[in-house]
Amino acid sequence: MTCPPFEESVAARTRHMRERLARAAGAVGRHVRVMEVCGTHTHAIGRGGLRAMLPGNVELVSGPGCPVCVTSQRDIERMLVLARHPGLTVCTFGDMIRVPGITSSLERERSAGADIRVVYSPVEALALAEREPEREVAFLAVGFETTSPGVASVLLQAHGRAVANLSVYASHKLIVPAMHAVLDGGSRIDGFVTPGHVSVVIGPEAYEALSTQYSIPCVATGFEPIDVLEGIGMLLECMAEGRTGSFVQYTRAVKPGGNRRAWDTLLRAFEVADAEWRGLGAIPSSGLRLKPELRHFDAVARYAVPDIEPVDLPGCRCGDVLKGLIHPPECPLFRTACTPRNPIGPCMVSSEGSCAARYRYG
Amino acid sequence: MCLAIPAQITELDGARAKVELSGNVLDADLSLIEDAREGDWVLLHAGFAIEKLEPEDAEETLKLFAEMGEATGDVPSV
């Protein structure tokens, strides 16, 4: 399966792709559910108006791929406690700032006087800690395998230079165990659009066992709407031919074997551990914790953040959305009580959340 | 949050680099990739180069960004 040459315009490629999709969907001949497990794909599907371009028997379902959305309520509440620690500067990716806790958010804590800074890169947190050694800096480390190798590199650099005033709240997640959990949780999925930039790191081989076990094709897909259409087309062609396996649409960046150096860096700082996800609950071996030799960077231990028994956000069905059990409009709060201006759940907060994408793009 | 975009290395200093991205110069950490040289294209995510790109692949992604922007009036999010 090859992509058309890129000299062709996007409009022409889109037209050809829709014809290819229609043929493949016809050959499949039944209703199929295709899940994307990356918030950036969710956003691209909305932005490109892809739902309207697909044949009627192809349903797109969003999965647990937005890092902010899958962060458990327990972690959110504990991050808020950490942010209130006197004298501490908390650095966070911007997506986290408005995620609601039961009684607060990082944004509200900042208005109330907490020193919370939005950073584009974990390198900025390290630079701040080194520039101002008397300042205590904690970084809220969320994200999938695209992001965690960079955080690992920062930790290894901090360790190498004996930086004593930096810590992290480690809440990284691994995507493949979550895909297993979705399937085991009762969502019928016929194909996965797998995340392009996670796949850059872990390689397309990482999905092969899942593909075999559940007889489901997987296609690592790029992020422009035409990429996503092509990825879905490849999945439908696999289904039509009864093929499973892990394939790559996003050959511009995803290489066989992934980025070993990034993965090795990750495993020098972190070890695989059980993790708690919003909606999916505890999933074995689905997260990362600091390796013993780096545990002095653990913000939870350093600032004695207590465990907090999480309370569900009242009425919020983000958990069912993340499991692919319902589409956002099926939540009674969608567009009524829960909007991007006044979000109740994290899937409405993050621009990559499936509720926010549905709200904005329909 | 897994956005990553092609950028070109303009200056190298060990594992630190300056990269150019649509006319803007940004800092990049190269510790996750091997044998980076000035002029190389990389995929930049949260301040880290996570993969090297062939120039024609970087060009194709940037071309898709641009065409999509024209088609929808949307600015590709970075």
* Helices H / strands E in chain B, number of each: 1, 5
Reported as half-sphere exposure (CB side, CA atoms, 13 A), residue A257 has a value of: 4
Helix (H) or strand (E) holding B32: none
Size of the A and B interface in Cβ pairs below 8 Å: 125
Return the sign of the alpha-carbon dihedral for residues B26, B30, B36, B41.
negative
What pLDDT is stored for residue A271 in this prediction? 98
B5-72: in CATH 2.30.30.140: yes
Q: Which residue has the tokens 């590199």?
A: A153
Distance from CA of A171 to the nearest CA of B (A): 14
Cβ of A149 and B48 within 8 Å?
yes
Do A335 and A24 contact (CB within 8 A), yes or no?
no
Q: Taking residues B69-73, what's their average pLDDT?
A: 50
> What is the pairing mode between strands A32-36 and A191-195?
parallel
E runs forming strands in chain A: 32-36, 58-62, 88-92, 115-118, 136-143, 166-172, 191-195, 217-221, 245-248, 270-277, 281-290
What pLDDT is stored for residue A221 in this prediction? 98
Q: Taking residues B38-59, what's their average pLDDT?
A: 97
Q: Does A222 touch chain B (CB under 8 A)?
A: yes
For residue B77, name the pLDDT band (cuts at 50, 70, 90): very low
What pLDDT is stored for residue A362 in this prediction? 85
* pLDDT above 70 coverage of chain B, percent: 85
Residues of chain A with pLDDT under 70: 1-7
- Tell me the whole-structure pTM to 2 decimals: 0.94
Is the pLDDT at B41 greater than 60, yes or no?
Answer: yes
DSSP annotation of B75: P
d(CA A194, CA A176): 9
What pLDDT is stored for residue A6 in this prediction? 52
Collect all residues of chain A within an 8 Å Cβ-Cβ radius of residue B72. Answer: 47-48
Strand partners, A247: A219
Collect all residues of chain B within an 8 Å Cβ-Cβ radius of residue A123. Answer: 27, 29, 47-48
Query: Which of A:86-105 have CB within 8 Å of B?
Result: 93, 95
Is the pLDDT at B68 greater than 60, yes or no?
Answer: yes
- Shortest CA distance to A58 belongs to which of A102, A18, A11? A18
Collect all residues of chain A within an 8 Å Cβ-Cβ radius of residue B68. Answer: 10, 47-48, 224-226
What pLDDT is stored for residue B69 in this prediction? 62
CB under 8 Å to A135, separation ≥6 — which residues? A89, A128, A129, A165
Question: What values do phi and psi take at A39, rounded to 5?
Answer: -60, -30
For residue B76, name the pLDDT band (cuts at 50, 70, 90): very low
Collect all residues of chain B within an 8 Å Cβ-Cβ radius of residue A198. Answer: 2
What pLDDT is stored for residue B74 in this prediction? 40
Chain B contact residues (CB < 8 Å to A): 1-4, 27, 29, 31-34, 43, 45-48, 50-51, 53-54, 57-58, 60-61, 63-65, 67-68, 71-72, 74, 77
Pick from A15, A71, A197 the residue to mutate for testing the B interface (most B CBs within 10 Å).
Answer: A197
What pLDDT is stored for residue A103 in this prediction? 86
Q: Please name the residue of chain A whose CA is at the shortest distance from the CA of residue B65.
A: A224
d(CA A98, CA A71): 13
For residue B2, name the pLDDT band (cuts at 50, 70, 90): confident
d(CA A317, CA A333): 8
Q: Could you give the C-alpha distances from A52 to A15, A48, A49, A294, A353, in angstroms and in order?
A: 13, 9, 6, 49, 19
What pLDDT is stored for residue A310 in this prediction? 82
Cβ of B64 and A38 within 8 Å?
no
Do A33 and A57 contact (CB within 8 A), yes or no?
no
Under DSSP, is residue A330 helix (H, G, I), strand (E, B) or coil?
helix
Is the pLDDT at B70 greater than 60, yes or no?
Answer: no
What pLDDT is stored for residue A191 in this prediction? 98
Pick from A13, A123, A156, A255 the residue to mutate for testing the B interface (most B CBs within 10 Å).
Answer: A123
Q: Which amino acid is at A276?
A: E
Q: Please name the residue of chain B whose CA is at the shortest distance from the CA of residue A156.
A: B31
Mean pLDDT of chain B: 87
Q: Please name the residue of chain B whose CA is at the shortest distance from the CA of residue A144.
A: B2
Q: Does A162 touch chain B (CB under 8 A)?
A: no
d(CA A263, CA A261): 5
Q: Out of B50, B61, B71, whose CB is closest to A10?
A: B71
Return the sign of the alpha-carbon dihedral for residues B30, A155, A178, A49.
negative
Q: Could you give the C-alpha distances from A257 to A207, A313, B6, B33, B67, in angstroms and in order?
A: 11, 40, 20, 14, 31
Domains of chain A: 29-316 (3.40.50.11740), 318-357 (no CATH)
Q: Out of B53, B58, B64, whose CB is closest to A224?
A: B64
- Cα A160 to its chain centre, rounded Å, is 29
Query: Which of A:46-65 have CB within 8 Å of B?
Result: 47-48
Return the sign of the alpha-carbon dihedral for residues A354, A359, A361, B5.
negative
Q: Please name the residue of chain B whose CA is at the shortest distance from the CA of residue A96.
A: B1
ipTM over 0.85: yes
* Predicted confidence (pLDDT) per residue in A257-314, tens digit: 999 999 999 999 999 999 999 999 999 999 999 999 999 999 999 999 999 988 888 8
